[in-house]
Copies of this chain bind each other. A is one copy, B any other.
Amino acid sequence: MSRKIAVIGMGHVGSTAAHYIVANGFADDLVLIDPNTGKVEADALDFKDAMPNLPFHTNITVNDYSALKDADVIISALGNIKLQDNPNDDRFAELPFTSTQVKDVAAKIKASGFDGIIVAITNPVDVITSIYQAVTGLPKNHVIGTGTLLDSARMKRAVADKLHIDSRSVAGYNLGEHGNSQFTAWSTVRVLGQPISKIADERDLDLAELDQEARRGGFTVFHGKKYTSYGVATAAVRLANIVLNDALTELPVSNYREEYGVYLSYPAVVGRDGIVEQVQLDLTDEELKKLQISADYIKTKFAESTAK
């Protein structure tokens, strides 16, 4: 009875995800957790002040880890976005901070008895997803990172803008790290009934530029407002909904790929049992090389994070 979602970390991203959930009635019970008690209580009250003008009702619980026991999905939005304000725009700058936080939170999640699905947004998301899985001991397919679901959306937006079409009419994936080593797997991208390579030829699209725009899209937003929120929160909540209603939707998300030995973004079928099936793409040699580099990078960073 009821859809129960928890959001841990009520900064820009977590509170935007929570608002999206409350405004659309996506959860019956919503648990909000943040070490900044003042902030999370203020958000909870603000949501309650919205409810008399909303068509949906949501039961909100604040800062109670025991409430995670029967939650269906936990969205981890912990982070310290300020740390991304570095010359290299590298999401790994957040790792020392977030990995410490996440180990603590993951232990508390485990202690609560939670046995649902974790959707991690926290950056660097591929490593953080690994940490969540390692510490909680949940099955690997029950811990998922939003990964390049967001970057793929950015790629779709960039392509759609050029072609004057709906971004939902662009199919394809960004793969690898949700970070600078990611790439658009152009061999998977289709638009207007054709592989994009053909459309690119016909219409003089510069795919390298579009790839760059997808990868850099987040930083354009970040430099404009000092954080990103709507794109990633929407991706995370969509993922949570897909889990809740067992939609079995195919999406590029961060999932554990045996052949790479790490969590990285690659399309998978997602449902109530988390990663239900892993897709196998026919990538080009160049794409395979890029993916290996991205995987190696994540692996090294994960090793560093656990060495500490």
Decide yes or no: A41 and B224 within 8 Å by CB, A23-B24, A169-B269, A281-B193 being known contacts: yes
A241-B173 Cα distance, complex, nearest whole Å: 27
Q: Which residue of B lies closest to A280 (CB)?
A: B193
* Chain B CB within 8 A of A171 CB: yes
Contacts of A53 in B (CB 8 A): 149, 153, 231, 234-235, 238
Contact A56–B245 (Cβ < 8 Å): yes
Contact A49–B193 (Cβ < 8 Å): no
Interface residues of A in 147-173 (CB under 8 A from B): 149-150, 152-154, 156-157, 160-161, 164-171, 173
Contact A57–B225 (Cβ < 8 Å): no
Contact A58–B245 (Cβ < 8 Å): yes
Binds B, one of A87-95, A215-223, A289-297: A215-223
Contacts of A154 in B (CB 8 A): 49
Q: Which residue of B lies closest to A2 (CB)?
A: B244
Q: Which residue of B lies closest to A155 (CB)?
A: B52
* Chain B CB within 8 A of A3 CB: yes
Q: Which residue of B lies closest to A154 (CB)?
A: B49
Contact A217–B39 (Cβ < 8 Å): no
